Amino acid sequence: MKLPNIPFFSVFKPGYLAFVAFGLFLDLLTKYIIIVKMSADESISVLGDFFRLSLTFNTGFVFGLFQDNALPSLFATGFAIVFLIFYRWQNSDLGNVWGWNFVMAGAFGNFIDKFFVKIPGSGFRFGFTPEKPGIEFIGVVDFLDFDWPNFLLFTRWPAFNVADSCVSIGIVILLFTMDWKEMDKK
């Protein structure tokens, strides 16, 4: 693999890396607070049935698809991060930099979360296998739970977290700021 000709830190500037680190910190902090304060599958009504805090664990992929695939999900996320770093480095003029920063913050947040066993009401420990199934859990912590019109695929939108929100915001920014005609020329 050939490294891009442009210096790494001219694309990934310290301020951008600080933003990614802040997004990562915010994601992991909110997940930790939820793990310590709630029990597994507990829901707390915030805005009636429209918005609840619900502690769930996603051992699959996007939207909770393919559950019980924690290790393949870990490898897929790691591969995606490496791909995104090199793609962004090679295509530094493509899309708005803040879109990329949001996507990277979210990707790192969910990636790091996959390295820990969660113990609701207590905290977490490094590992990939719960020693006490039903008490300890693996997977990404999801807790933002919104109602969704019943006629659209899900009865409720799948629970998500701050990292998922960052990825979604980043993708929307990139979709609106990428010059698709310029991409076709490359």
Which candidate, 166, 124, 106, 117, places its Cα nearest to that of 32? 124
Amino acid at 143: F
CA 16-99-76 angle, to 5 degrees, is 95
Q: Which of 142, 145, 179, 184 is catalytic?
A: 142
Give a three-class secondary structure readout of 146-161. Answer: EECCCCCCCCECCCEC
Cα 111 to Cα 2, 22, 76: the distances in Å are: 25, 15, 9
Which candidate, 140, 135, 138, 139, places its Cα nearest to that of 120? 135
93 classed as catalytic: no
Q: Which of 27, 113, 145, 164 is catalytic?
A: 164
Asked if residues 105 and 14 have their Cβ atoms less than 8 Å apart, the reply is no
142 classed as catalytic: yes
Report the catalytic residues.
142, 164
